[in-house]
Copies of this chain bind each other. A is one copy, B any other.
Amino acid sequence: MIKPHMVIGVDLGGTHLRAALVNEDGRLLARERTASGSALAPEEALRRLTAQCRTLITAARADGARVAAIGLGAAGSIDRRAGRIVHSPNLPRLNGFLLAPALERELGLPVFLENDANVYGLGETWQGAGVGIRNWVGLTLGTGVGGCLIFEHQLWRGDDLGFAGEIGHLPVLPGGSVCACGAVGCLETLASGSALARGVTAARDRGQILGPALEQAADQGRITPLAVFQAARAGDSLACELFATLGWALGVALAGLFSVLGIRTAIIGGGVSGAWELFEPSLRRALRDQARMFDPQLARVKRAALGDDAALLGAARLALDALANRR
């Protein structure tokens, strides 16, 4: 009797390493979670990941199944052929680390590595808001803005240069702020969690009087995206304006991408997308104002469906697809 195949999907996050055992139907059967943090060293990351995977391999065995491969999603730029993390903004000590081969040696299983926003796209297209949608643009709004492109139900990798779908670095406001990438006016400078926090700091620096909630957060040195979200929910005008700008920037970027790509669907996830009602109106307004190639009524801008599970399921899907391509 052939044992059923399972895979492990791993999300290498800046605060936690999460892993899940996933079957071929996309069911999440067991989960592991352990702390990470910006000081995490490569050897320790490898040790923790190996332990998580071993626990899940044992769980699979108890189910009469075997784990066939492991998929990893990580923020930053990835050399997926080598399995190397080239630049890791959240786990900086992993920069340059050949993670996939190291984990392969520990576990004796094939390991595949991909950018986290691309993994999100694979997850949502397999089990989430992208099911059955042939072509879509994916965005993840977190500290930065991640992006992916799903074309013909597949993850688009372009010329395989080590990045694709970097929608956060589409210029939307020439002459605007300098982005973390070094360019000017990228979508990420207006539509990320960092942009929200920076917007408050900038307003304070130019002498604007903050509302009481933001003033208190500023005094405590805690102007977080969550603080801006809570202030906006309580009606703070600066916070509301920052979310309106975030929505405007998304709308401009999506109008451009829809016109260029001739497609009509976007799926938005990531932590900041939890503030949906705060930025959706201005997003739709900008889309309507900028989208002249097509009836803006046709545009479908949807919320992601899987939350954090998109990363786990997408990493699992990455492993399944890679196995299928090897055969």
Q: Given the known A-B contacts A159-B263, A262-B157, are A292 and B173 also in contact in the complex, defined by CB atoms under 8 Å?
A: no
Q: How far is the CA of A256 from the CA of B261 in the complex (A)?
A: 13
How many angstroms between the C-alpha atoms of A96 and B260 in the bound complex? 23
Q: How far is the CA of A199 from the CA of B201 in the complex (A)?
A: 39
Q: How far is A165 from B261 in the complex, measured between Cα atoms in Å? A: 6
A151-B151, A172-B174, A174-B172 are contacts. A161–B291 as well, Cβ < 8 Å? no
Interface centre among A149, A264, A292 (most CB of B within 10 A): A292
**A255 and B183 contact, CB distance less than 8 A:** yes
Alpha-carbon distance A160/B62, docked complex (angstroms): 48
Measured between beta carbons, the chain B residues less than 8 angstroms from A265 are 159
> Assuming the A-B contacts A135-B158, A183-B289, A292-B181, are A170 and B262 also in contact, with contact meaning beta carbons closer than 8 angstroms in the complex?
no
- Chain B residues positioned under 8 Å from A246 (CB to CB): none
Name the residue of chain B whose CB is nearest to the CB of A147.
B260
* Complex: A156 Cα to B263 Cα, angstroms: 11
* Known contacts A159-B262, A162-B294, A164-B261; 13 further A-B pairs (Cβ under 8 A): A77-B293, A159-B263, A159-B264, A159-B265, A163-B293, A163-B294, A164-B262, A164-B263, A169-B293, A170-B260, A171-B255, A179-B292, A183-B255
Can you list 14 pairs linking A and B with CB atoms under 8 Å apart?
A77-B293, A135-B158, A158-B261, A158-B263, A159-B265, A161-B264, A161-B294, A161-B298, A165-B262, A169-B256, A169-B292, A181-B293, A183-B292, A184-B289
